[in-house]
Structure 1
C-alpha cells in the first residue's frame, strides 16, 4: 500500500468564479431532482408535492454554507421540476457551474506513487474531471486512488480482488457490484495491519453515485493509520 500527499498549490480551483458545485453535490442535486420527478408521477396531492419541493430545496441549499444570491438563483429552478424534461433542463443549467477534480498528469501521478516502478497511470486525456470526486484506475491486480483533501492530493494503492460480488461500497455507500480492496498500513517499526474494504468494481459508476465525501474520507483515514 502506498499513501502520499501532494499540495495542489492553488488558490482558485477552476479559474471560473461562477463554478461552485462539486461532483458529489451535483449527484445529490440530481438525486433530489429525480425524486421530484417520481413524486409528481405518483402523487396527486398538491400539498404533499409542495412539502417535497420545499424539503428538496432545503436539502440542496444546506450543501453550500455560503451561497451568493446569484448561486441561489441557479439552484432555485429545482422546485419547478415536474418531469424528466424539466430535470434534464435544470441539470444541464448546472453543468457550467461544476468544479472539476484537480487536473493531473502522468508525471504528477508518478510523484504521488514514488515506490511504484513502471506506473502506467490512467488515460489522462480521456478523463472527465468534472465527473470525479476521486480518481481511480487499475493496473494488473493493483488499484490506485487519488483524492483531494484540504487543498492536497492524497494517494492510496492496494490489491483489488478479481472476484466480484453484490454488496455495499464503502466509498459511495450504494449497493452494486463490489470487489475487495486490500492494503497494508504500518502499525509499528516492523508491524503491518492488513485492511480489507469492499468498494465499487466500476470507479466511474462509484463517482456518479457518490453524494457525500464522508465515507470516502473515512476510507482514506483508515488506510492512513
Structure 2
C-alpha cells in the first residue's frame, strides 16, 4: 500500500488557499488510482495494457473535476507517469497543498450544533488533521456517536447511539469492509411524542472511515436516510 507523509500546522488545519481544489474524498480516489497503477506495473509487463490502464486512471480522475484550469491539470497530470510506489508517494505528496480542509470547527461551534448535549466533550480538535476529513466523528461514553457534516454550505450535527459489532461489515459511509458498529438516531415522527429510530452500520474508527472515503455519495445517502 502507498503511505504518504503529509505535513500540517499545529492545529492540523491549514488556510484554504485559492489553489486548493481537491476534497478529501477526491484525494482518496486519486490515491486508489495511483495504487492501481503501481499494482498493474508490478503484476504485468504488457506495455499496451499498462498504457490503457494509465489512460483509464487519468480519465477517471479528471472526471472528478468538471472544470479544470491549466494549473490544476498540471497538478494532476503526473498520475499518468506513476509506475512504482515511490512515484505514487511523490505524486500524492505534491497534491497535499491543493487539498481543501474540512470546514473549521471550534469547541463553541460544536456546542451550538449539539445544544441538548450538556456534557459534550467533543474531540481534541487540535489533533485533528482537517485535510483528511470528509466529516468529523467521535464517540463519547462508549455508546454515543456524534457526526458533523457539511450540507448546503453549512455545518450540521447528527448524533445517536452506537453499538459495536463483533464482526466486520460494510460501512454505510465509506462503503468499505471494516470493523463496524450500529449507529442509531431518533427522528420526530408524525406527532410530537412519536419518534422513529433509523440506523445502519458505520466504521468504529472515524479516521479509518475518512481515509477510506473516495466519494461523498454514500455519506449523503446515509444522512438522508437518517433524516427522513
What range is the shorter-chain TM-score in?
over 0.9
- Find out whether 1:197 has 2:205 as its counterpart: no
Q: Is the 8 A contact 1:164 1:201 kept in 2?
A: no
Question: 1:153 is matched with which residue?
Answer: 155
- With 29-38 and 193-202 compared, the bigger mean Cα shift is at 193-202
- State the 1:151 CA deviation: 0.6
Q: Contact 2:29–2:214 (CA<8 Å) still a contact in 1?
A: yes
Where do residues 126-165 of structure 1 align in structure 2 (5 Å cutoff)? Answer: 126-140=127-141, 141-165=143-167
Instruction: State which of 211, 218, 227 in structure 2 corresponds to 1:224.
Output: 227
The TM-score, its normalising length taken from structure 1, stands at: 0.92
The structure 2 residue matched to 1:184, chosen from 174, 183, 186, is: 186
Alignment of 1:12-161 (within 5 A): 14-140=15-141, 141-161=143-163
Q: How far is 1:186 from its partner?
A: 1.3
Question: What is the deviation of 1:183?
Answer: 1.0
List alignment gaps of at least 5 residues for structure 1: 1-12
- The separation in 1 between residues aligned to 2:64 and 2:164, in whole angstroms, is 36
Unaligned runs of 5+ residues in structure 2 are: 1-13
8 A Cα contact 1:33 1:87, kept in partner: yes
> How many residues are paired up?
213
- 1:103 Cα shift? 1.2
**Which structure's relative contact order is higher, taking Cα pairs within 8 Å and 6+ residues apart?**
1
Deviation at 1:164, TM superposition (A): 3.3
> Which residue does 1:207 correspond to in 2?
210
Counterpart of 2:11?
none
Counterparts of 2:25 and 2:63, CA distance in 1: 14
